[in-house]
Amino acid sequence: MAVYKIFPSQDTTLYSAYPNMNTGIDALLEVSSTVPSEAPSPRVARAIVKFDQSEINNVVDNIIGNLNTFSSSFQAFVATADGVNFDSTMEIYPVSGSWFNGNGMYLDTLQNTRGCSWKWTDFSGSNQWPIAGYGPLLTGSYSGSSNAGGGVWYTGSGGYAGIGNLEFSQSFTVRGDKDINVNVTDALKVWYSSSKDINQGLINIENNGFLLKWDDSIEFNPSLAVQPAYTFYSVDTNTIYPPQLEFKWNDFIYETGSLSVINTPDLFVAVDENEGVYYSESINNFRLNVRPKYPIRTFQTESVYTDNFALPTSSYYAIKDLDTNEYVVDFDVDYTKISCDASGSYFKVYMNGLQPERYYKILIQTTVNGNTIVIDDENYFKVTNG
């Protein structure tokens, strides 16, 4: 099983209260709907995030190799979360129309208008986000309303087979997880097909990223009881939490050859072929040396400790950030399964999805005779800038 991550090429926040302001290099993205006491109407912020289509195509064509065998999730990591006092739904849509990231920050001393904003797609006075005459499958904040602008997005699939719509969402509760983790596989398949002109005459839906907004019952709601305000780390953050697209697919192989499968929960697992330091472009197969801790006594002419065993099929790997102790790749029964060939058990790690200049720890989980064992033997490695 395999996991691969890519990071945004552009992201910014659109503020209804500052319709010309660009925040393209701000460290935070904001999705909010608030009612300040000094403001005559609610203020709304929407975020847009784009991933380069050439990177997506490269993953599909040259790493996964098949458009129909992967799952992909859009992930963003919360910095602050305020105002959620009931279940609330955030909506995520593919953006229609190109836009320019810009180089502004929130409330610069001199407001920066050189980039995408609530009103404009490029810079103040350039191309305006459409507010009327939307094409097929498209919508936005319409002309004549107090909230006109703020992007245009797709609400349908355009007839692509197996794809009901391109509307995604995540609900948040008062005490629930506030990070975004939404399956957007359908959007990536449509973008890929459109970029390759293999859409069989259907509407081309170009990749212009995702728009994040609260649902219509929350946005521009004047009630003081409804004021959710979330910020997420942007691609310009100096933390390890930029937004990402995570691809997962099945590359599991299990052919033990002459190896015996370990059948005791008292086992020793060592991570071999670990050079310790990897460039961010590296791909590494970590091989596992597996043996019983207490081998059965036999009469033979060589050490039993030289025999390698295979882990059972219900074995998985995970990777933790050493400083934060957070899983950057969690145990996953579908996508982090450990493979095996005639030489032993192994798994593949794509280093590009790990933040560089940081140390990571490998953990192994396996189930033997009804016992689930997690092995944490301080197996570390570092990813460095290439």
Each residue of 283-340: pLDDT tens digit? 999 999 999 987 665 555 555 556 899 999 999 999 999 999 999 999 999 899 999 9
**Does 233 map to a domain?**
yes
In a domain, 256, yes or no: no
d(CA 226, CA 356): 40
Quick one: which H or E segment has residue 189? Answer: helix 185-195
Cα torsion angle, 236, 237, 239, 241, sign: negative
Q: Answer yes or no: are the C-beta atoms of 313 and 337 closer than 8 Å.
A: yes
Q: Are residues 214 and 282 in the same domain?
A: no
Q: Is residue 371 part of a domain?
A: yes
Q: Are residues 105 and 132 in the same domain?
A: yes
For Cα atoms 233, 237, 243, give the angle at the middle one, nearest 5 degrees.
Answer: 45
pLDDT at position 144 is 58
For the chain, helix (H) and strand (E) counts, in that order, are 2, 23
296 and 231 inside one domain: no
Q: What is the pTM of this model?
A: 0.90
> Residues near 308 by Cβ (< 8 Å), separated by ≥ 6?
259, 289, 290, 291, 343, 344
Domain boundary at 200, 218, 249, which? Answer: 249
Q: Are residues 127 and 217 in the same domain?
A: yes
Q: Are residues 27 and 176 in the same domain?
A: yes
d(CA 154, CA 166): 7
Domain end, chosen from 191, 215, 249, is at 249
Asked if 378 and 288 sit in the same domain, the reply is yes
In a domain, 344, yes or no: yes
User: Alpha-carbon dihedral of residues 335, 340, 343, 345, nearest 10 degrees?
Assistant: 60
Residue 344: CATH number of its domain? 2.60.40.2840
Shared domain check, 152 and 25: yes
Q: Which of 72, 100, 81 is nearest to 233 (CA)?
A: 81
Q: Are residues 163 and 298 in the same domain?
A: no
Q: Of 195, 219, 249, which residue sits at a domain end?
A: 249
Same domain, 245 and 276: no
Say yes or no: 161 and 12 in one domain: yes
Are the beta carbons of 104 and 15 closer than 8 angstroms?
no
Per-residue pLDDT at 221 = 87
In a domain, 255, yes or no: no
Query: Do 125 and 15 sit in the same domain of this protein?
Result: yes
| Domain membership flag for residue 261 | no
Q: Is residue 83 part of a domain?
A: yes
Residue 132 domain boundaries = 2-249
Contact between 14 and 260 (Cβ < 8 Å)? no
DSSP E strands in 123-179: the ranges are: 138-141, 149-154, 168-172
Considering the domain boundaries, does residue 257 fall inside one? no
pLDDT less than 70: residues of the chain: 1, 39-40, 142-146, 295-306
Same domain, residue pair 151 and 210: yes
Question: What is the domain count for the chain?
Answer: 2
Q: Would you state the pLDDT for residue 182?
A: 97
